[in-house]
Amino acid sequence: MKTVLAICISIIGLFTISCEERIDDRIIPEQTNLLIVEGIITNEKINHRVKLSLPHSTQNEVALPATNAVVAIISSDDDVTLLNESPVGSGEYYTDSIRAVYGKSYLLYIKYNETEYYAVDYSSAGQPLDSIHLTETIVNNLPLYSLKYEKSGTKPNYITYDINWEQTEYCTTNTIDCFGKLIYYDLKNIDVQEIYAPKKEAFLFPVRSRIIRKKYSISDKYQEFLRSLLSETEWRGGLFDVQRSNVPTNLSEGAIGFFAVSTVVTDTVIVGI
Partner 1 sequence: MLTLLHWYTPLIRFYTLIGLLLITSTYGKAQNEIPSIHINVINSPLIEVLNEIATQGDLHFSYNPKKIRLDQKITYSANKPVKDILEDLMKIASLQYTYLEKQIILKPLKTRGKNTNKNTIIHGYIKDNNNGEALIGATIYVSELNTGTMTNAFGFYSIALPKGEYNLSYSFIGFEENHQIISLTNATNIDVELVEKPPILEEVVVVASAPQLVEEIQMSKSELQPKTVSEMPALFGEMDVIKSLEFVPGVKSHSDGSTFNYIRGGNRDQNMIMIDDAPIYNPSHMLGVFSTIIPDAINHIHLYKGDMPASMGGRLSSVIDIRTKNGNNKKLQAWGNTGLISSKLGLEGPIAKDKSSFLMSGRISHAKWLYQQKNENIQQFYFYDLTGKLNFNISPKDKLFISSYSGSDNYFENNSGVNWANTTGSIKWTHLFNNRIFLNTTIAGSSYQYFLHADIENNTKWKSRIANLNFKGDFTYFIRPQSVLTFGIAANGHNLNPGNLTSNDTKIQPPLVSIKNVVEGIAYINHEARVNDQWGVKYGLRFSSWNNQGASFEFEFDENHHVIDTLFFDLGENYNQYNNIEPRLGLSYFFNKNSALKFSYSRNVQNLHLITNSISPFTSLEVWLPSSINIKPQIANQVAIGYLKFYPNIGVSLTIEGYYKIMKNQIDYKTHAETLLNSIFEGELRFGTSNSYGAEFLLKKKEGRLRGWLGYTYARVKNTFPELNNGQPFNAFYDRPHEVNLILGYDITKRIHVGTNWTYYTGSPYSSPISFFNFNGLETPIYGQRNNSRLPDYHRMDISATLNLNRDLSKKFTHDLTLSFYNVYGRKNTLFINYNKTETENGDFRIPSNLLENSRTSSQFYLFRFTPSLTYNFRFL
Residue type, 229: L
Nearest distance from C-beta of residue 77 to partner 1, angstroms = 28
1 belongs to the binding site for partner 1 (CB under 8 A): yes
| Local structure of residue 115 (DSSP, 8 states) | E
Binder of partner 1 out of 49, 229, 254, 269 (CB under 8 A)? 229
Pairing type for strands 80-85 and 70-75 reads antiparallel
Q: Rule CB under 8 A: which of 21-50 touch partner 1?
A: 21-30, 32, 34, 36, 38
Task: Round to whole Å and give the CA distance between 37 and 68.
Answer: 14
Find residue 94's DSSP bridge partners. Answer: 49, 84
Which CB atom, from 26 or from 114, has the smaller least distance to partner 1?
26
Stretch binding partner 1 (CB under 8 A), from 78-86, 136-144, 187-195, 264-272: 187-195
C-alpha radius of gyration, the chain, whole number:
21
Is 174 a binder of partner 1 (CB under 8 A)?
A: no
- Here's the x/- map for partner 1, 56-85, by CB under 8 A: it reads as xxxxxx-x----------------------
Q: Is 52 in the site for partner 1 (CB under 8 A)?
A: no
Based on CB atoms, which residue is closest to partner 1, 100 or 214?
Answer: 214
90 contacts: CB under 8 Å, gap ≥ 6 = 65, 67
Phi, psi for residue 174 in degrees, rounded to 5: -55, 130
Residue 252, Cβ density class (10 Å: 0-12 exposed, 13-18 middle, ≥19 buried): middle
Cβ distance to partner 1 smaller for residue 237 or 272: 237
Q: Kindly identify the residues of this chain, within the stretch 110-139, that bind partner 1 according to CB under 8 A.
A: none
Min separation Cβ 46 and partner 1, Å:
17
- Residue in 218, 231, 101 with CA at minimum distance from that of residue 155: 218
Stretch that binds partner 1, among 90-98, 99-107, 109-117, 191-199 (CB under 8 A): 191-199
Tell whether residue 6 is a contact of partner 1 (CB under 8 A). yes
78 vs 201, beta carbon nearer partner 1: 201
Does the footprint of partner 1 cover residue 169 (CB under 8 A)? no
Which distant-in-sequence residues (6+ apart) come within 8 Å of 73 by Cβ?
41, 48, 50, 80, 81, 83, 95, 106, 107, 108, 109
Those residues whose C-beta lies under 8 Å from the C-beta of residue 253, and which sit 6 or more positions away, are none
The least distance separating partner 1 from the CB of residue 21, rounded to whole angstroms, comes to: 6
Site for partner 1 in 197-226 (CB under 8 A): 197-203
